Chains A and B, each alone.
Chain A
Amino acid sequence: MARKAEAKPAQSNVPELTKEQELSAYRDMLLIRRFEEKAGQMYGMGLIGGFCHLYIGQEAVVTGITMASKKGEDAQITGYRDHGHMLVMGLDPKGVMAELTGRQGGLSKGKGGSMHMFSNEHRFYGGNGIVGAQVSLGTGLAFAAKYRGDNTVSISYFGDGAANQGQVYESFNMAKLWNLPAVYIIENNRYAMGTSVDRATAQGDFSKRGLSFGIDGEQVDGMDVRLVHDAAKRAIEHARSGKGPYILEMQTYRYRGHSMSDPAKYRSKDEVASMRAERDPIEQVKNRILEKRYGTEEWLKEVEAEIRAIVTEAADFATSDAEPPAAELWTDIYAA
């Protein structure tokens, strides 16, 4: 399988998206961006507690991948940086935001919080707080897909830091041994908390992490939703057609701190600023929409207004909804 040595796209033959795909990618990514900005603000106001890991900067990854998947049929699972995944998968922004504020209308009735949200209906399995655990769990979702023969795949997202956990490799081995329809998305945003990739790993090319098991992988510019989508199509098709697991290393970047409190000493302001200025995933789509006349400035403004309305509604709901009733303390512990 072709391996790109460099993350930089070969500009000449970038696989293009259709007009509809570009417009919907723009909408999805903008929703994540505005939602996360609002969440950050609400955290600062004390409305959200504990940890709150924002996805700002990485929007193209989940957007491009979900676009290439069968939404609602293929299973997806990730870690604690999960708000974007839920929004793109179609979970209700009000339910997500109300979970962040710990209210009864939250997706987990307020009992899970930022790191723990799930939806059987949308086949989203969290929302996991233990770094690396989602990789085995996602492999288990793939096991079930193969067992049932339902032609779905399982997509597991994890970070560059998570990629060093032992259970990742135990899972890779079994996924290949049993040819499970598992797609592994390594969201390499260059840092695990304050540890840069080169300080944490002896093999910084994450697409090679499955090589010794015979799992193919690719490095992808994760800031360009077109390239994410294109690679995801290949990976998902590979898994769905019975050829087993596939790894995509998404080279991406988080603009905000790891969680809300972050010393920001491990990288320079310039690095963040230049990523924002030169590689922003949303700006890239926006520029193409204008260039190709897929939409006008007017249209962009309308979308912005629409999204703002959705986010405002979510925030209003999340601040006015009641806290869970005290009796919820004792529910949902044992299955009926």
Chain B
Amino acid sequence: MPTILMPALSPTMEEGKLSKWLVKEGDTVKPGDVLAEIETDKATMEVESVDSGKVVKILVPEGTEGVKVNEPIAQIQAEGETLEAAPVAKTVPEPSEAPVVAAEKAADAAPSVAAAPAAPKFEAAADPDLPAGVEMVEMTVRQALNEAMAEEMRRDKDVFLMGEEVAEYQGAYKISQGLLQEFGPQRVVDTPITEHGFAGIAVGAAFAGLRPIVEFMTWNFAMQAIDQIINSAAKQLYMSGGQVSAPIVFRGPNGAAARVGAQHSQDYSAWYSHVPGLHVVAPFSAADAKGLLKAAIRSNTPVVFLENEILYGSTGLVPKVDDFVLPIGKARIARAGKDVTIVSYSMGMRYATQATEKLVAAGIDVELIDLRTLRPMDTATVIESVKKTGRVVTVEEGWPQGGIGAELAAVVVAEAFDYLDAPPLRVTGKDVPMPYAANLEKLALPNVDEVIAAVNAVTYRG
């Protein structure tokens, strides 16, 4: 026999008043008929019937205060043999079905809320083996990024590029040079200056199966669009229970350029690395720029790809193979050593590399790790290194609080505490907006001397 339960007006309601019955025992009701009115201090609601039948018993008289949610308030005799008729009003498991938890509790004072299962460990693949004697081609990071996009656009017609000045102007920083000529205006799309709008449009296109590459003229301007990056792209797969993904790459120069002031000089590494559902890549070398951008374009997970304007013109050797794709989530040991670990990425690697050269010359055997990807972060490589060296210095351009170095320090302390011979130290951008004046800008950025000083501190040398 269907039982009508006291419904909840809101997820937090625990009890309310049954203010009025609109039916009496013996009445016949059909779906949609109002049976009763209930109220709380905030709201009132009419309780409707979802069944047809006869009201056989009113269990709680009108005017009763403090009626608990899910308490039976009436019984209806359904028509025909509908003893297992559709549930009435809100169906929540009867309170009496709950003692399992209570029993557990009694059994061994375990927490009443089940513990979350452990997060799965991300296992990045190793870099691909290169054929012996492969030709290495010298190119700039700019060319490497350009080649990566061109190759992927040739390979997959669903890949397209959109952003401000990417087509006719050939890219504000010339990363998309020649792409309009090769792929035409349908696939290389100039947008108005409307970051929030076109980022959303690209995410929508990705929902429908296209594979957009969105170029932000710089990441500073992506703050206009950060809602679509995080709320729409990053969370979509999860919110849809795995149905709808957003295979999209957001890319552009990140961090300080030179003398462009506070609103145009900011490192977003830590910001995006905070967000589950995103992969965040920040390459330093030309080879990594190419191999990781190709991987990002193929990834079904939205990727935030952080480039650096100052590095665009720097050159490196890129293997000449048909399809050079590197694994996202794998750090690269730029130099193996045993005395101290330096961890950095992107522009920070420039300071770290120069510091390493000087330190090695001074007899310190530095192990230098280029994270390359910030999420998922290859902490395993860092931990393994720190277990060997016992000392770690992180280098980044971003602000210290909640930064990449802060995250690394937390992981190292938690997972390699017993191996540490010194507290982890961070070299970061100063905790200030970027000043314009040449002298102040220099002071605001990290530099080689600060890296050396930090290494000296963790190795207890002068």
Instruction: Tell yes or no: A10 within 8 A of B by CB.
Output: no
Given known A165-B194, A329-B444, contact A194–B169 (CB-CB < 8 A): yes
Interface-centre pick from B172, B258, B259, B444 (highest chain A CB count, 10 A): B259
Tell me whether B361 is interfacial, beta carbon within 8 Å: no
A42 to chain B, nearest CB (A): 13
**A323:B432 contact, CB within 8 angstroms:** no
B194 touches A324 (CB 8 A): no
In contact, B263 and A130 (Cβ under 8 angstroms): yes
Contact A112 B439 (CB under 8 A): no
User: B224–A165 contact, CB under 8 A?
Assistant: yes
Please measure, in the bound complex, the distance between the C-alpha atom of A242 and the C-alpha atom of B170, giving whole angstroms: 47
Q: Does B215 lie at the interface of the complex (its beta carbon under 8 Å from any beta carbon of A)?
A: no
| Contact yes or no, A266 B168, CB < 8 A | yes
A162 touches B (CB below 8 Å): yes
Hey, which chain A residues are within 8 Å of B221, CB to CB?
130-131
From the candidates A102, A201, A330, name the one contacting B436 in the complex (CB within 8 A). A102
Complex CA–CA separation, A161 to B194 (angstroms): 9
Q: A193-B172, A266-B168 in contact; A324/B439 too (CB < 8 A)?
A: yes
Bound form: Cα–Cα A113–B169 in Å:
26
Contact with A along B145-188 (1 / 0, CB 8 A): 00000000000000000001100111010000000000000000
> Is B260 positioned at the interface, with any CB of A under 8 Å from its CB?
yes
Q: Is the Cβ of B432 less than 8 Å from the Cβ of A333?
A: yes
Q: How far is the CA of A114 from the CA of B223 in the complex (A)?
A: 21
Nearest CB of chain B from residue A281's CB, rounded to whole Å: 26
Quick check: is B196 within 8 A (CB to CB) of the other chain? yes
Q: Which residue of B has the minimal Cβ distance to A116?
A: B261
Which of chain B's residues have a CB closer than 8 A to the CB of A106? 437
Contact A192 B440 (CB under 8 A): no
Known A113-B259, A115-B261, A195-B192; judge A324-B437 contact (CB<8 A). yes
> Is B169's CB under 8 angstroms from A193's CB?
yes
- Docked CA distance A325–B220 (Å): 27
User: Nearest chain B CB to A134's CB is how many angstroms away?
Assistant: 12
Q: Is A166 an interface residue (CB 8 A)?
A: yes
**In whole angstroms, how far apart are the Cα atoms of A109 and B262 in the complex?**
14
B101 at the interface (CB under 8 A from A): no
Contact yes or no, B169 A195, CB < 8 A: yes
CB–CB A166/B169 < 8 A? no
Q: Are B435 and A115 in contact (CB under 8 A)?
A: no
Q: Which of A103, A164, A329 contacts B194 (CB under 8 A)?
A: A164
> Which residue of A has the minimal Cβ distance to B439?
A323
Residue numbers in A under 8 Å from B436 (CB-CB): 49-50, 99, 102, 108, 110-114, 116
Q: Does A328 reach chain B (CB closer than 8 Å)?
A: yes
Please name all residues of chain A whose beta carbon is closer than 8 Å to the beta carbon of B259 when the two chains form the complex. 49-50, 102, 113
Chain A residues within 8 Å of B193, by CB: 131-132, 161-162, 164-165, 192, 200
Among residues of B, the one whose C-beta sits closest to the C-beta of A265 is B169
Q: Which of B165, B223, B258, B439 contacts A193 (CB 8 A)?
A: B165
For A108, list chain B residues within 8 Å (CB): 436
Q: Which of B196, B264, B430, B440 contacts A129 (CB 8 A)?
A: B264
Q: Which of B190, B257, B437 contacts A195 (CB 8 A)?
A: B190
- Is B443 an interface residue when CB atoms closer than 8 A count as contact? yes
Smallest Cβ-Cβ distance to A326: which chain B residue: B443
User: Any chain B CB within 8 A of the CB of A255?
Assistant: no
Residues facing A in B420-439 (CB within 8 A) are 430, 432-433, 435-439
Chain A residues closer than 8 Å to B197, beta-carbon distance: 166
Chain A residues within 8 Å of B258, by CB: 49-50
Interface residues of A in 182-197 (CB under 8 A from B): 192-195
Given contacts A165-B193, A166-B197, A193-B169, contact A49 B264 (CB under 8 A): no
Q: Are A329 and B440 in contact (CB under 8 A)?
A: yes
CA gap between A195 and B168 in the complex, in Å: 8
A contact residues, range: 35 or more
Say whether, besides A49-B259, A50-B259, A130-B220, A166 and B437 are in contact (CB < 8 Å).
no
Contact A330 B261 (CB under 8 A): no
B43 to chain A minimum Cβ distance, whole angstroms, is 29
In the complex the two chains form, is B443's CB within 8 Å of A194's CB?
no
Residues of A within 8 A of B437 (CB): 102-103, 106, 109-111, 323-324, 328
Instruction: Say yes or no: A166 contacts B194, CB within 8 Å.
Output: yes
B169–A130 touching, CB < 8 Å: no
CA distance A50 to B169 in the complex (A): 20
Chain B residues whose C-beta falls within 8 Å of the C-beta of A112 in the assembled complex:
261-262, 436
A199 at the binding interface (Cβ < 8 Å):
yes
Inter-chain contacts of B443 with A (CB < 8 A): 326, 329
CB neighbours of B192 from chain A (8 A) = 161, 164, 192, 195, 200-201
| Complex: A329 Cα to B438 Cα, angstroms | 11
Are the C-beta atoms of B263 and A194 separated by less than 8 Å?
no
Say yes or no for A263: interface residue by CB 8 A criterion.
yes
Q: Chain B residues with Cβ under 8 A from A161's Cβ?
A: 192-193
Residue-wise, chain A 226-254 has the 8 Å CB interface mask toward B (1 for contact) of: 00000000000000000000000000000
List which A90-110 residues lie within 8 A (CB) of chain B: 99, 102-103, 106, 108-110
Smallest CB–CB gap between B109 and chain A, Å?
A: 47
A 247-283 contacts with B by CB, 8 A = 263, 265-266
Indicate whether A113 sits within 8 Å of B439 (C-beta atoms), given known contacts A193-B169, A200-B192, A329-B430: no
B249-272 CB mask vs A (1 if < 8 Å, else 0) is: 000000001111111100000000
Most buried by A among B196, B197, B440: B440
Cα distance, A328 to B455, chains bound together (Å): 28
- B435–chain A nearest beta-carbon distance, Å: 4
Shortest beta-carbon distance, B158 to chain A, in Å? 25
- Whether A116 contacts B263 by the Cβ 8 Å rule is yes
Residues from chain A with Cβ under 8 Å of B261 in the complex: 50, 112-116, 129
A63 to B172, CA, bound (A): 31
Instruction: Give the CA-CA distance A164 to B172 in the complex, in Å.
Output: 19
Asked whether A129 and B224 contact (CB < 8 A) given A111-B436, A164-B193, A195-B190, the answer is no
List the 6 closest pairs (A to B, CB-CB), nearest first.
A49-B259, A113-B436, A50-B259, A102-B437, A110-B437, A129-B263
Given contacts A131-B193, A165-B193, 10 further A-B contacts (CB under 8 A): A49-B436, A50-B257, A129-B220, A165-B194, A166-B196, A192-B193, A195-B164, A326-B443, A328-B435, A330-B430
Pick 25 A–B contacts, CB within 8 A, sort by A. A49-B258, A49-B259, A51-B264, A102-B436, A102-B437, A109-B437, A110-B436, A113-B260, A116-B436, A129-B220, A129-B260, A131-B193, A161-B192, A166-B194, A193-B169, A193-B172, A199-B190, A200-B193, A263-B169, A323-B438, A323-B439, A324-B437, A326-B443, A329-B432, A333-B432
Which residues does A use to contact B, with CB under 8 Å? 49-51, 99, 102-103, 106, 108-116, 128-132, 161-162, 164-166, 192-195, 199-201, 263, 265-266, 323-324, 326, 328-330, 333
